[in-house]
Amino acid sequence: MTADTATGTSSLLDDKKISYNRFLLIVAGLGGLLYGVDVGIIAGALPYLQATSGFGAAQMSFVVAAVLLGSVISTLFAGLLADWMGRRSLMTLSGLMFVISIPMIALSHGYGPLVFGRLLQGVSGGLIGVVVPLYLAECLTASSRGKGTGIFQWLLTLGLVIAAGLGLYFSFRVDQVAKLGDAARLLDFKNHAWRGIFWVSLPPGILFVIGSLMVAESPRWLLRRRKKDAAYAALLRSRTTGQADLELREMEEVIAAEKTKAGSGSGTQKRESLLRRKYVIPFILACIILACNQATGINSIIGYNADILLQSGLSDFAAHWGYFIFQCINFSVTLLGVMLVDRKGRKFLLAMGTGGIILSLACTGFLFRGNEKRRVDAAAAVQSRVSPDQKLTFTYTSGLADQFLEESASAAANRPTSLVVIYSYGDFRATSQVVRSNDEATKPIDIKREDSIPANKVVAFFSNPFGNLDTARTAPLHIENALISPVPDSRNGWMVALTLFIFMAFYAVGPGVCVWLALSELMPTRIRSNGMSIALLLNQGVATIIAAIFLPTVGKHGYSTMFFAFAACTVIYFVTAAFFLPETKGKTLEEIEAHFEGAGRAK
């Protein structure tokens, strides 16, 4: 019997407890909002920061990457900190870090304060990504745990939309000022624009800090610190007396069982106990789900969405509209997932979502495969244009496209073509923007060393863990691929866009909502905080590997190969969700733990 079906049912909750449960959801949502803003805010601010700061390309690359570095560092220690200082205290600390980082960035007039502020933002985001789902799993009732964690993901996507919206708003304002023809005024407004983008993100951070101070500490953390009365009081804030009594008894039984097993052996017992079935199996399942979640290609599909749509046949304007629709689908369908997760269950949504992802990715791959069979690699022709100082600049026109094709022993194209250049300095690869031969307003392809290699060895590690930065600083520019493809018609482009919209919808309703639940629900209480940190590190490791291989793979084998590879990886995800993952809907964390021990079944 679960806590929600005990004597005190959720229908008997008084108004005060109902209000508190709603307040928990709001605080969770603010945490997700901050996480999304952390990730997305730099995109809108970066053009104006580049125009006014005077920083070089290498310095700017580190400003962008500082959040990733801070996030990886804090994720590594988030579990230990959550166990040491408590879930609520760590939430408050992470919120304070975010609040402090905003004025540090927005008021900065030098490189050091700006980078430190961005690092602090990254540390805050990494802590929030671990501690908020952890806190929700341990504090919410079994019947609302899915909704709470789903709202975290939903408002995370809202954070991304808000960050993009801020960028669009200031872009419009900058365009209006530019029409005045006053260069000094334009430069001054751009300086205020990037600072304003960061300032606007401050209120959610303040609200999150205030909210974290008003909620109770995790009852499970309190009970493990031998604070039974405080744990019971925390449970009573959101549960009836019957629910609280039953859940407290289950928590005490789990702790007592652990102590009994630990006391029956020698000093090696601790290591042996962590290898028990109830620890190993859920930990492995969570790691597989977190790794496969990245292996769907979600980050690359979002990051290269506009380029993918351009290559598929859409115009630049249509491609950016397609990306906007893509993000709107992410936001709106995530809300649908939040509504369904406690009704249909995690297992159902994950199985349905991953099944839809497999089909949509396979369809996208087939749409690209037909056109990519006709593409030509003009690497040798482009390499011949590299200057002695290892730079490359040219404007891609119809005449130049014909010349490249002739030099590559290929027939001149009878239709517009697109070009993307994959190049490297030593071990570090990059790609040019996609340009078209029939676009009169296209910008020149401009390749320089300072824009292409990491600023320092820390950033280099996250770009390519096996790369040699010292060698790259003197290595010649090597054109690995210069891919000329016939531009498909817009019909093909919108078909690709449709398959990507379907991909995003299935991802949002399944993995997008359920991945945080899988991470927090599957882990037993004893290893939950540290296990979540390790699983998230694995998640980020897979994301880094995909980022490192994406461009070279696309350059040599095309987008179709990457989409087929993502689909194949998602098959593993589907099998895990459909056949090995237990349904955790409506179960207390202790009941889920008992299932993996073999004492019960979480059906």
Q: What is the DSSP-derived secondary structure letter of residue 576?
A: I
In this structure, what is the dihedral angle of CA atoms 502, 504, 507, 508, given to the nearest 10 degrees?
Answer: -120
Asked whether residue 92 carries a pLDDT value surpassing 90, the answer given is: yes
Position 300 pLDDT exceeds 60: yes
Q: How confident is the model at residue 403 (pLDDT cuts 50, 70, 90)?
A: confident
460's tokens = 């280099």
Q: pLDDT-based confidence at 603, cuts 50/70/90?
A: very low
Write down the pTM of the prediction.
0.72
Q: What rounded mean pLDDT belongs to the chain?
A: 81
pLDDT band at 600 (very low <50, low <70, confident <90, very high): very low
Q: Which long-range contacts (CB under 8 A, 24 or more apart) does 466-471 make?
A: 466/427, 467/426, 467/427, 467/428, 468/426, 468/427, 469/426, 469/428, 471/426, 471/427
What is the tens place of the pLDDT at every residue in 374-401? 888 888 899 999 999 999 999 888 888 8
* pLDDT category of residue 514 using cuts at 50, 70 and 90: confident
Compute the distance between CA of residue 421 and CA of residue 377 in angstroms, rounded to an integer: 9
Among the residue ranges 42-46, 501-505, 559-563, the one predicted with the least confidence is 42-46
Retrieve residue 244's tokens. 């609280």
Check pLDDT > 70 for residue 480: yes
pLDDT at 358 over 90: yes
Of the listed ranges 106-115, 175-184, 369-378, 587-596, the least confidently predicted one is 587-596
- Between 388 and 406, the more confident residue is 388
Out of 158-167, 197-206, 280-289, 442-451, least confident range: 158-167
CA 282 to chain centre: 22
Question: 86-100, 167-181, 494-508, 567-581: which range is least confident on average?
Answer: 167-181
Q: What is the pLDDT of residue 387?
A: 92
**pLDDT on residue 462:** 66
> Quick one: residue 426, left, alpha or beta (phi over 0 = left, psi -120 to 50 = alpha)?
left
Residues linked to residue 392 through DSSP beta bridges, in sequence order? 447
Distances (CA, A) of 70 to 52, 88, 106, 115, 194: 25, 21, 18, 10, 21
- What percentage of residues in the chain have a pLDDT greater than 70? 87
pLDDT given for residue 263 in this prediction: 60
pLDDT tens per residue across span 236-293: 888 888 888 888 888 888 778 767 765 655 444 444 455 667 778 888 888 888 889 9
Q: Identify the structural domains of the chain with CATH numbers, from first to last.
A: 1-242 (1.20.1250.20), 376-489 (no CATH)
Q: What is the pLDDT of residues 2-33, one digit of tens each?
A: 445 444 444 456 778 888 888 888 887 888 88
* pLDDT for residue 72: 79
Exposed / middle / buried, residue 321 (Cβ in 10 Å: 0-12, 13-18, 19+): middle
| Angle in degrees, CA 475, 480, 486, rounded to 5 | 150
Least confident range from 221-230, 287-296, 428-437: namely 428-437
Q: Which residue has the tokens 């580049």?
A: 50
The tens digit of pLDDT for each residue in 306-321 reads 778 877 888 766 776 7
Percent of all residues in the chain with a pLDDT value above 90, rounded to a whole number: 17
- At 466, the pLDDT band (50, 70, 90 cuts) reads confident
Task: Give the pLDDT confidence score for residue 158 in this predicted structure.
Answer: 82
**Residue 164 identity (one-letter amino acid):** A
Overall average pLDDT of the 460-477 stretch: 84
pLDDT of residue 97: 94
Largest alpha-carbon pair distance within the chain?
82
Between 504 and 31, residue with greater pLDDT: 504
Torsion over CA of 531, 570, 39 and 422, rounded to 10 degrees? Answer: 130
